[in-house]
């Protein structure tokens, strides 16, 4: 699909720092140990891959699926970021996926192309639900920071090629310090911002949402997550916000704080998935 690359992207400057200097950003891998890897999209000579964890052996019981998008401010980032989450959830019976998408320092692209890729990844996955043995009506999208923003945009910007089972809108969200398009300084935003703001597009059909967010996050303020959850609840939806004192941006990764926050946030995510009948 194609996203209009207009001035609305100014909002994303908090995540996408303007810098045109060359940088040594390694390519994401073609394969990841323990995963089945698929090319879901080709753009010129770029191949974007999904890495799928979990067994497709039990064909009688289609499983729920969760797909994660890495963070990195749309500039860089590693598809391996959420591999620990995927392995944990696959061991609990889910099909779990990490998705590659285009970023500035690797592909010379903007957030608009990243949004296109995130939506196309979900569309491709849903088209392969039988092959991958998952329930197309139990798809969770997740991610951290800019990756969380991609997941949240997909939940509010559905691309439906004609079948409910094949649309790009996930059934739930699992977000970690996500960008949410909260218009604290809306006067700064140009026309078109609202279309791609998860916060501005919340309505009474918005999907159940899990958010883990550090209260000392200087990149995406904790206030944004609070406002998002508050609005979703006011609309009658379900939002579960876990705030962490003295925790900064990206606090939840396995390689941070000796894995303490990783263990706590994944434990709470599992409880959210169980409560919503995904586990």
CATH of the domain at 218: 3.40.50.1820
Structure tokens at 214: 């550090």
Give the total number of structural domains in the chain: 1
Assess if residue 212 is contained within a domain: yes
Assess if residue 163 is contained within a domain: yes
Could you give the CA distance from residue 97 to residue 264 in angstroms, rounded to a whole number?
A: 21
Could you give the CA distance from residue 139 to residue 173 in angstroms, rounded to a whole number?
A: 9
Note down pLDDT in tens along the chain; length 279 residues. Answer: 555 554 344 445 445 443 344 456 788 989 999 999 999 999 999 999 999 999 766 667 899 999 999 999 999 999 999 999 999 999 999 999 999 999 999 999 988 899 999 999 999 999 999 999 999 999 999 999 999 999 999 998 777 655 555 788 999 999 999 999 877 544 344 556 677 889 999 999 999 999 999 999 999 999 999 999 999 999 999 999 999 999 999 999 999 999 999 999 999 999 999 999 999
Assess if residue 1 is contained within a domain: no
Assess if residue 7 is contained within a domain: no
> Which H helix or E strand runs over 140?
strand 134-144
pTM of the model: 0.89
Contact at 8 Å (CB) between 97 and 48? no
pLDDT of 21 reads: 41
Assess if residue 4 is contained within a domain: no
Assess if residue 271 is contained within a domain: yes
Could you give the CA distance from residue 265 to residue 279 in angstroms, rounded to a whole number?
A: 16
The domain of 181 spans 36-275
Assess if residue 23 is contained within a domain: no
Assess if residue 14 is contained within a domain: no
Cα distances from 98 to residues 46, 53, 67, 159, in angstroms, run 17, 9, 6, 20
């Amino acid at each position: 699909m194609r996203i209009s690359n207009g001035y609305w992207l100014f909002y994303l400057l908090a995540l996408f720092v303007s810098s045109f200097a060359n940088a040594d950003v390694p390519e994401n891998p073609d394969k990841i140990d323990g995963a089945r890897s698929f090319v879901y999209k080709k753009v010129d000579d770029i191949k974007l891959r999904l890495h799928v964890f979990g067994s497709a052996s039990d064909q009688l019981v289609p499983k729920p699926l969760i797909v994660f998008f890495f963070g990195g401010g749309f500039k860089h980032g590693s598809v391996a970021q959420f591999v620990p989450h995927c392995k944990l959830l696959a061991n609990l019976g889910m099909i779990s996926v990490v998705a590659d998408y285009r970023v500035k320092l690797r592909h010379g692209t903007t957030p608009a192309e990243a949004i296109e890729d995130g939506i196309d990844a979900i569309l491709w996955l849903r088209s392969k639900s039988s092959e991958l043995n998952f329930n197309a009506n139990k798809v969770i999208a997740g991610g951290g920071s800019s990756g969380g923003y991609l997941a949240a945009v997909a939940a509010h910007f559905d691309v439906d090629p004609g079948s409910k089972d094949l649309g790009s809108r996930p059934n739930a969200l699992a977000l970690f310090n996500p960008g949410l398009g909260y218009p604290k300084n809306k006067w700064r935003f140009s026309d078109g911002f609202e279309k791609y703001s998860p916060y501005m597009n919340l309505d009474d059909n918005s999907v159940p949402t899990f958010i883990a967010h550090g209260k000392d996050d200087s990149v995406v303020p904790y206030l944004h997550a609070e406002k998002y959850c508050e609005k979703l609840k006011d609309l009658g939806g379900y939002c579960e916000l876990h705030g962490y004192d003295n925790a900064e941006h990206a606090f939840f990764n396995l390689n941070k704080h000796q894995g303490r926050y990783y263990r706590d946030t994944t434990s709470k995510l599992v409880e959210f998935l169980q409560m919503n009948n995904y586990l």
